[in-house]
Structures are given as C-alpha cells and as structure tokens.
Chains A and B, each alone.
Chain A
Amino acid sequence: MDIKEFVEILNNKSKVQIEVQQHSHKRVYIRINRENLKHIAQIIFRDLGAKFSISTGIHIREGFEVLYHFTFDKDKFICTLRTLAPHDDPVLDSLATVIPGTLWIEREIHDILGVQFTGHPAMKRLVKSEFLEENEFPFRKDFNIKKFKEKHGLLPNSQPQKELQK
C-alpha cells in the first residue's frame, strides 16, 4: 500500500471530507474536522494496522492545532492527522479508549495548551509543575514567561541590576 492507495481506502471507508497534502513519498498530512477524529483514528489504527507514534499540540492563529502522527511500518510512510480545536471551545474527543498509547500525550497537551479531551479516563497533571495554576498554559502564545518568573521570584539578579542603574 502506498500513500495514494491509502488515501483512497480512507476515503472509501470513512465517507467524510478530508484534505490531503502530500509532502513526499514517505510523509502525508491529512486535515480533518474534529467531529470525525475518533472515527478516522479508529480506521487507521484498528483496520489499517498503523502504529500511533505521538501527537503534537501547537498554538496557531485559528486556535490549537493538534497533530496525530501514525506510522505505517510495513509500508514505510507516516500519516499525520491535522485537527483544530478553536479558541472559544478547545475540546477534542479523547482517543484513549481506542488507543491506550495516547493516555499520556493527551494529559501532556492538556497541561501545556489547555485543550480538553472528553472521555479520557484519568485526566490529571503529567508534566506541569505545581507552580503553575490551572489556567496557566506555558505553550500558549500569550503566556508571559517574564511575568511568571517575576510572580514566583525566579528572575536572577533582578535586585543587583537595579542598584547598578541608580
């Protein structure tokens, strides 16, 4: 199965609108609506036998883009599902019930970007420090590191510099 055949099979099986962008003969990116995420992930993981590698969360202008990277080891290519959770409603379906491998990464994306995953069995902090409050997300573009450091007294040498200026 090459990428062309894969896209055809996915189109036939899922029967939803997908937007394909082929990067090279080993990499393909597919944009999908968030309502179809669980359905398509199930087809790729269960029916087509792909391995879930990781997902990436990125804060972009339109909202929070979450990428799911699936690797097809026998067919030597990677398929990336691209989905968007808008700013005003950052919610996605959790894949943890379909793919146990997503248990941790969904907790991590929730920690750093504040995307909610409905249906996750154990949503709690994974990497976010107790320093940070529930509504502070370090990977959001509006997160102010300087303000955060000032608040917790983490800025080095802030006192001595002021004295020098005087």
Chain B
Amino acid sequence: MRSIIPIGPFHPLQDEPENFLLTVEGETVVDIDVNLGYIHKGIELLAQQKTYDQVVFLVERICGICSITHTVCFCNAVEDLLKIEIPERAKYIRTILGEIERIHSHLLWMGLAGHFIGYNTVFMWTWKYREPILDMMEILTGNRQSCGMLKVGGVRRDLDNQKLSQLLKTLDELEPKIKMLADAVQDDPVLKARLENVGTLTRKDAIDYCVVGPTARASGVNIDVRRDDPYAAYPYLDWDVIVLNQGDVYAKFLVRVLETLESIKILRQAVQKIPAGDFQLQIREVPPGEGIGRYEAPRGEDIHYVRSNGTNFPERLKVRAPSYINIPSFYASCINQQVADVTITLAAVDPCYSCTERMISAKDIRSNHLWSQKDLIEISSQKTIKIASELGIEPDLPILKKYLLR
C-alpha cells in the first residue's frame, strides 16, 4: 500500500521552508520529490541593478550562516575577471574569518543533528561551545554575522593584532571540548547504531550527482576547493583534507567533527603568520569579461560566475550554493530508507534553503493524517530510545556524562 508523506513547507529539522513529498510503502520510502522556491529572493536579478560595491553587501545577505562564504566567493570571481592578486594581509584576514565561520556552522549542524535523533545533550553542548566563537567574531569585526568586512580587492577594515591573540585563547578553550565530542561520538554505541548505514550515499552516486563538501568527502570523494583551487592564504598553511569512505550519516557527522579540529589548526597558523601591511587595493573600473570564483563553504563548494560589460553593473551574476547540488542526492540516499531515518538523512547534507533558494510534509493518504514536524522528531527519538534499550544503555549519551563527571 503506497501513501505519500508530505514534509514541509517547514523542514522537519531546520525550520526553513521547502517541501519534500515522500512516497512510502509501509515504513519504507520508495520515492521522493522536492519542491523549492518558497524563499526565492531574486538575488541574481537584483544584482544586475546594483554596482559591484553594492553587490558585495547583497550577496552577504543570501544566507545567514554563510555570510563570509558568498562575499569572498563573489570577490574571488571579480578578482579572477580583473586578474589581480590581493595583498597578503587581506588573504590572511579572509582565511581567519572563513575558518571561524566554518567552526560555528559545523557546531550548529552537530547540535541540530543531535536534537533530531533525540540526543539533546549534544544539542545543548555544541550550541554552548558555539557562543564564544560567535562572540569572537563580534570582537574581531563588530558583528556576530553579516559583518560587512569584504570588498573587491581586499578587506574593508583591518583586524587588530591584539584581538587576534584573544582568538588564540578562545581556541585553546574550545579545542579540548571538540576533542571530547569527537571521542564521545566515536565511542558511543547508541549514536553508532542510530547513524551507521543510514542514508548511505555511495561513491558512484556522489560523483554522478556531483555532490560537494563534507557530503562528498564522507563518500570517499577527495575534493576540497581550499586545496584544489587555492584562494586566500590556504596555500601557505599546513592542514589535512578529511576523507572517509562509508558514506552514511555517521561518516558525515565524523567528517564535520574532524574538520572543526582542522579549522582550529588553520586558525592558529594564520594568526601566527599574518603579515603586516596593506589590506586593500583600489579598483577603479571593471573591464568587459568573465570571471569564476570558487570557495569551500562549510557545506561544500560555492561557485559564482560574473560577466561584466564594462559598466558599473554586472551583466550577469550566477550563484551556485553548495546545497543546490547536494539536495538532489536525496533521490539516491533516501530511497529504501525507513521513515524514522529520513529526518536525519535529509538533514545530513546540512541543507541551507536560503542559499538554495519549497516543503517536506508527511501525509497518510488513507487516514488523511498530516504528520507534523513534532511527530517526525518523536518517531526519530523513539527509535533512538528503542536501540538504546536493546543495547541495555540509558538513552542519553552515557559517554558524554562520563566525561562530564571527570
């Protein structure tokens, strides 16, 4: 017996509007359809009516989490068009801001993932660790988000060296906590049982659907724009690309935890190596031409294409956010999954609908019963509790409690 479960226009996990129609046979998902466009803002068309300086502020508002991502990516595209190299100090400042953003974005996702499988301890902890990082952003730039630091040809304001040493102190406090989380995730049997072999995206599907970022790296595709098309100060720093082969939600979780540790490593080096000097170039005019900018966002490769016709306004700006290419992989990863696992599978790519630019709702055709967000989280939590009781463990992160008592 087939029924269709509509999820949305509110996402069961991330409170952003989009619509997924799951066709289920009993408890198993056999087909999925995605509707988008609920928050289509017409940014690409708006950008054609603004000057290059104004577009920087416009693209910053594409997404609340990736505000640095889109601005640096746009600047990269225009700088590629102009064929210019920005000053060293500006490169380091861009790296520092980008990595702070990656840490807080990964911590945000881990918290949400924890919440949706009924592990509210993870949610509380990671969001607590996230606060000092956001505060650090405010100390450095003046705002926790959308700080307006970037401009074509460098950065708008300089960073205070004294405040950078404060960043090192925050990182020293954060690192042991992330390491503890990494250990706890790897040790915890319930988390493993709940996430392993769930929503597996095979390497072949990952390549066919052209997925990017942690979604691809968890499926054994070794790509990272920071290494493959270097921008900012990444070529001068020593760090590793985290690649795992399982492709399930557990691997995606682990990739993000380990990447957070890599980000801390990058930040330490960047603060140590940052040179003094000029931090911006004056751009007088933009000649006709084309430019492509790439950036490794927390969710994957972001790409902007700019075409100039010699005037002050871009003729075309194309924005491809990482979620846009990651979401269609649901066609591959959600089929033959249990309904209780779909919530976390849909969340595993860290979909950002502001970036991608419609809803998943669950409806049982026979009884005409609409499943709400609460119902779906409830189903998901119950499954965790069931697994925990089968394993004979109290279902709320026993390992974390062990660390807490130390």
Contacts and interface: CB of A to CB of B under 8 A. Distances in A.
B119 interface: no
A89 interface: no
B288 interface: no
A51 interface: yes
A69 B229 contact: no
B208 interface: yes
Contact of A101 (B37, B316, B328): B328
A58 B80 CA distance: 19
A76 B212 CA distance: 16
Chain B residues touching A, range: 35 or more
B321 to A, nearest CB: 10
Interface string A133-153: 000001100000000000000
A129 B37 CA distance: 7
Interface stretch (B53-61, B87-95, B192-200, B301-309): B301-309
B305 A56 contact: yes
Contact of A127 (B36, B228, B289, B292): B36
Contacts of B168: none
B320 A76 contact: no
A26 to B, nearest CB: 7
22 contacts: A23-B80, A23-B290, A24-B83, A27-B80, A51-B207, A53-B210, A53-B301, A58-B315, A69-B303, A71-B301, A76-B229, A80-B292, A99-B210, A100-B208, A100-B328, A101-B208, A101-B328, A103-B328, A105-B324, A126-B37, A129-B40, A139-B45
Given A27-B80, A80-B292, 13 more contacts: A51-B207, A53-B320, A58-B315, A58-B316, A69-B305, A73-B223, A73-B229, A99-B208, A100-B208, A127-B357, A129-B40, A138-B42, A139-B45
Interface of A: 23-24, 26-27, 29, 51-54, 56, 58, 67, 69, 71, 73-74, 76, 78, 80, 99-101, 103-105, 125-129, 138-139
